[in-house]
Amino acid sequence: MKNALLVAYEYPPIGGIGIIRSLKFSKYLPAFGWHPHVLSVRNPDRFYSTLTHEPVPDGVTVHRSWNVANNLSVIEGALRRIGIQSRLIVPDAYIGWIPDTVRVGRRIVRDHEIGLIYVSVSPFSACLIGTKLKEQTGLPLVIDFRDAWTLAPNPITYMHPALRRRNERLEEEAFRAADRIVTATEGIAEQYAERYPFSAEKLVPILNGFDCDDIPRGAEPFPKFTIAYTGFFYGAQSPHTFVKALGRIVREGLVPQDELEFLWAGRDALWVRELLRREGAWPVVRYVGLVPKAEADALLARSHLLFFLLGENERVSQTRILTGKIFPYLASGRPILAIAPPGDARDLIEAYAGEAVIVENGDVDGVVDAILGAFARWKAGTLPAEAGPRTQEFRRRYNYRVRTGELAAVFDEVAASSRA
């Protein structure tokens, strides 16, 4: 069994969608001959990080480092809340974990015969950790871009152009240092191949996925007609169109309140609560908070309609974005109501959803019609209850064991090249 160092800030007990990729890779890597030594933070930031009870997979060794800049003061926390620090600190507000993570990483390399270093980003400060560890240990480096850095759809607006230029230099240094660059979407790989032509041969798209172990067997449907959403609302990811439609249905009595429920699982957002109340939808809302991944997937399996959102605005384009939640949504086999622009996400839904209605953002009438149509079919007993052939094909192709096999093949190739 070969040993790999996996540097991942977002790893349990930190919660949220950002942990899933590293968590599932660490779970399945031993099946492909790699023992993962995960290096994460001991003191997660209380202003940005949400904690979870997500279990660490068996067979994974977890090490911790200290972020010296986390939670230093009320003032520091206030600056984070209003976003000033994100416009001043390059590459991000997590730079305080770099020194100790590099120190602990060197010790792990020395004590455990590590064969390569894998770094999951964001936060993008992890790239600096990876480049420093490669420089100091001579080991090959694989950087996994779950998100684009300077090419992100909603990039940071720095307070001075010099900060933006420094951020771009750090990104280019990371691309030059890495032996392979994994990306979570083909769109990210294509963008960076154009941005850094010298890295084109290094780029390997490995998409996200779902875990077959998280699909519940024999899930009992909820007694009410249940529309489920699992994930965060933020920025362009605003549910305004959906909430206005749901509010109209409730206010006008188009569906009896005692037969309708909107199940929301994820990080709380007061502005979303206010929106739900203002539009009159709150009486049918059940907010369950941030739940472990397997529990979230069980909620999907018990629901009758899944709400998927990929929002855009004048500054944010998401045509090449595949968010992590789309994979368990499609794997569940449940009907999907999607608000999404033309692009990769819509194409995947159209290819693999057993049943889906896709509408444009702002089309309140379209969302109302989709909900009422699904409700009528539920009342008539004609909503699909079993995973159809397209769902079965999706499960075969997009599960995390398959994805991890692709990553392990990258590890094998890089490790062999470094020994040659």
pLDDT digits (tens, 9 = 90+) for 291-328: 888 888 899 999 999 999 987 655 556 667 778 889 99
Q: Do domains 2-209+399-419 and 213-395 have the same CATH topology?
A: yes
**Integer Cα distance of 4 and 116 in angstroms:** 5
- The predicted structure's pLDDT at residue 310: 86
Spell out the long-range contacts of 314-320 with Cβ–Cβ below 8 A and sequence spacing 24 or more.
315/154, 315/236, 316/153, 316/154, 316/235, 316/236, 317/153, 317/341, 318/153, 318/236, 318/343, 318/345, 319/187, 319/343, 319/344, 320/185, 320/186, 320/187, 320/188, 320/190, 320/191, 320/344
**Integer Cα distance of 179 and 141 in angstroms:** 5
Cis peptide before 256 (omega within 30 of 0): no
**Integer Cα distance of 121 and 292 in angstroms:** 21
pTM recorded for the entire structure: 0.88
- The predicted structure's pLDDT at residue 316: 57
Q: CATH number for the 213-395 domain, one of 3.10.105.10, 1.10.150.20, 3.40.50.2000, 3.40.50.150?
A: 3.40.50.2000
**Integer Cα distance of 91 and 47 in angstroms:** 18
For residue 34, give the DSSP letter.
E
C-beta of residue 199 within 8 angstroms of C-beta of residue 175: yes
Domain ranges of the chain: 2-209+399-419, 213-395
C-beta of residue 357 within 8 angstroms of C-beta of residue 240: no
Q: CATH number for the 2-209+399-419 domain, one of 3.40.50.2000, 3.40.50.300, 3.20.20.140, 3.40.50.1100?
A: 3.40.50.2000
C-beta of residue 337 within 8 angstroms of C-beta of residue 308: yes
**Integer Cα distance of 282 and 276 in angstroms:** 5
With b meaning 16 or more CB within 10 Å and e meaning fewer, what string describes 364-377? bebbbebbeebbeb
- The predicted structure's pLDDT at residue 170: 95
Query: Locate tokens 């595949």: which residue?
Result: 322
Do strands 356-359 and 34-41 pair parallel, antiparallel, or not at all (unpaired)? unpaired
- pLDDT tens track for 327-372: 999 999 999 999 998 988 999 999 999 899 999 999 999 999 999 9
C-beta of residue 130 within 8 angstroms of C-beta of residue 109: no
Do strands 34-41 and 260-265 pair parallel, antiparallel, or not at all (unpaired)? unpaired
Do strands 141-145 and 180-183 pair parallel, antiparallel, or not at all (unpaired)? parallel
C-beta of residue 178 within 8 angstroms of C-beta of residue 201: no
Which residues lie closer than 8 Å to 220 by C-beta, 6 or more apart? 302
Angle of the 98-112 helix axis to the 125-137 helix axis, nearest 10: 40
Q: Following CA atoms 87, 93, 99, 104 in sequence, which dihedral angle do they give, to the nearest 10 degrees?
A: -150
- The predicted structure's pLDDT at residue 82: 58
Q: How long a stretch of residues is the chain?
A: 420
Residues of the chain where predicted confidence (pLDDT) is lower than 50? none
**Integer Cα distance of 309 and 269 in angstroms:** 16
